[in-house]
Amino acid sequence: MAEGTGLIRRFYEEVLVGGNLDLIDESVLEGMQDHEDPMPGQPPGRDGVKFYVNAIRAAFPDLTVKLDPVLADGDLEAAHGVLSGTHKGEFLGIPASGKSVEFSSVDIIRIEDGKVAEHWGASDTLSLMQQIGAVAA
């Protein structure tokens, strides 16, 4: 995949929603640097990406995403996504609630040699935790 040509969109659609974990090995450098705070127990690098994806997909197996906008500039790509799904599995120690959720996420990646070398991101975790009943609204 060439730089600035949709790697972030492929990650959201094919990996996070579609479950194609092989794409992580194909598109993320082993020592990828993640500037976002990790989930409890999340290792660094490519294994951390797999950990995150598995945790989200287990908790929200019917996850969908709407991306708008997706931007590219040189070796950087950015996207704002609205993720939605049903809390059907444990998430961060919170048992499945069966509640529907919708939360936003913003991600920026730096691409090197066609693979993700760095990631910055922020998700509306407070809103998500409120929706599953883990935190008072």
d(CA 116, CA 110): 6
Residue 136 lies in a domain: no
Number of domain units in the chain: 1
| Residue 6 · residue 27 · CB < 8 Å | no
Residue 64 lies in a domain: yes
pLDDT band at 4 (very low <50, low <70, confident <90, very high): low
Give the model confidence (pLDDT) of 39-97 as tens digits. Answer: 999 999 999 999 999 999 999 999 999 999 999 999 999 999 999 999 999 999 999 99
Q: What is the pLDDT, as a whole number, of residue 26?
A: 95
Query: 18 lies in which domain range?
Result: 7-131
Q: What is the CATH number of the domain that holds 91?
A: 3.10.450.50
Residue 137 lies in a domain: no
Q: Is the predicted pLDDT of residue 1 greater than 80, yes or no?
A: no
Helix (H, G, I), strand (E, B) or coil at 94: strand
Residue 58 lies in a domain: yes
Residue 1 lies in a domain: no
| Residue 45 · residue 32 · CB < 8 Å | yes
d(CA 132, CA 137): 10
